[in-house]
Amino acid sequence: MSAIPIDRAGVSPPGRPKGEHRSAKHEGRPVIALEDLPNVGPAVAADLRLIGIRAPGALAGRDPYALYEALNRATGVRHDPCVLDTFIAVVRFMDGAPAQPWWKYTAERKRVLAARAAGSR
């Protein structure tokens, strides 16, 4: 894999090739394991593996809301919405967005879920 330059915040510049990711979490090293993703520790990595996501590349192009619902079905538990925020963050990162803390996606999640609830009435 060729080196992708990283700015001081640990974020790849716009236009980086899809599939080539670096994470500030690991000082600019390539993202190879789920735990290398921003916002992902052992618990979230285990949740992703439970729903069939074994590698970061498998998140590219996925629907984070569908992943969250799959996790809820697989465990029989309604997980905290911050898990959904984390799924949004990692999917967006793997789709080429800069690394962001999971809470940066809370407002988006609330808007999307409110719109979906309003549309289902």
Three-state secondary structure readout of 12-68: CCCCCCCCCCEEHHHCCEECCCHHHCCCCCHHHHHHHHHCCCCCHHHHCCCCHHHHH
Per-residue pLDDT of the chain (121 residues; tens, 9 = 90+): 333 333 333 344 344 444 455 554 545 668 899 999 999 999 999 999 999 999 999 999 999 999 999 999 999 999 999 999 999 999 999 999 999 999 999 999 999 999 999 988 7
pTM recorded for the entire structure: 0.78
> Which residues on adjacent β-strands are paired with residue 78?
none
Q: Where are the domains of the chain?
A: 38-119
